[in-house]
């Protein structure tokens, strides 16, 4: 599996999806993700459902101007076969203090579950390719954690440290992402 960790030109993977910067032409596709209540109800911090295309246009423009330094960013998740946007992903510092880094991904309601796993792998790969030692995924109790666990993330506890919400915390370290490692070398599930 070959990873090219340069999202300015596109972070790609020899799989089904890649990460690219958001573009103005992505507004309709972004709205299919962030305008869907089923998508925006579970990420943490909870992403407010975008009300209309005009509001989505403003957000996509804002994301394009953010200028977050590597490894951080907000990306469109694209199918490699046709370039279609199937979701969005982030790698951002977590408050308070920006000491930890959180990763999220939101995919269209009709997206294949395998795409969620590949997206999580790409975002984590982006973090580790730029020297981060660990990343966290924050989820509300009861959320589906399949993609999180299949990428080697493991539950480390619950906290209200982030965003003032009661959240479950999953951590991933560089060695945990190694899909080729023998089963006994993976963290407990």
- Tell me: the pLDDT tens digits for 118-134? 898 889 988 998 999 99
Structural domains of the chain, with CATH: 17-176 (3.40.630.30)
pTM: 0.84
Model pLDDT, residue 68: 85
The encoded tokens of residue 27 equal 């507004």
The encoded tokens of residue 180 equal 């080729």
Residues with Cβ within 8 Å of 18's Cβ and at least 6 positions away in sequence, in order, are 10, 11, 12, 77, 78, 80, 122
- Model pLDDT for residues 21-33, shown as the tens digit of each residue: 999 999 999 999 9
Could you read off the pLDDT tens digit of each residue along the chain, which spans 189 residues? 334 444 444 555 557 888 989 999 999 999 999 998 777 666 666 677 899 999 999 999 999 888 888 899 999 999 888 889 999 999 999 988 889 999 998 899 888 888 888 898 889 988 998 999 999 999 888 887 887 887 788 899 999 999 888 899 999 998 887 666 555 554 555
Model pLDDT, residue 42: 61
């Amino acid at each position: 599996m070959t990873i090219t960790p340069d999202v300015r030109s596109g972070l790609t993977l020899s799989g089904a999806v890649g990460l690219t910067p958001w573009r103005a032409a992505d507004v309709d596709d972004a709205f299919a993700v962030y305008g869907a209540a089923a998508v925006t109800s579970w990420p943490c911090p909870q992403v407010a459902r975008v009300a209309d295309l005009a509001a989505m246009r403003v957000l996509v423009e804002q994301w394009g101007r953010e200028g977050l330094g590597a490894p951080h960013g907000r990306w469109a998740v694209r199918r490699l076969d046709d370039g279609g946007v199937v979701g969005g992903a982030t790698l951002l510092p977590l408050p308070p203090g920006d000491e930890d880094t959180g990763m999220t991904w939101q995919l269209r309601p009709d997206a294949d579950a395998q795409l969620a796993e590949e997206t999580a792998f790409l975002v984590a790969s982006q973090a580790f390719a730029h020297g981060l030692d660990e990343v966290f995924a924050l989820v509300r109790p009861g959320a589906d954690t399949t993609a999180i666990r299949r990428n080697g993330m493991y539950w480390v506890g619950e906290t209200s440290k982030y965003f003032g919400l009661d959240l479950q915390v999953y951590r991933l370290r560089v060695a945990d992402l190694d899909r080729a490692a023998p089963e006994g070398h993976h963290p407990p599930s």
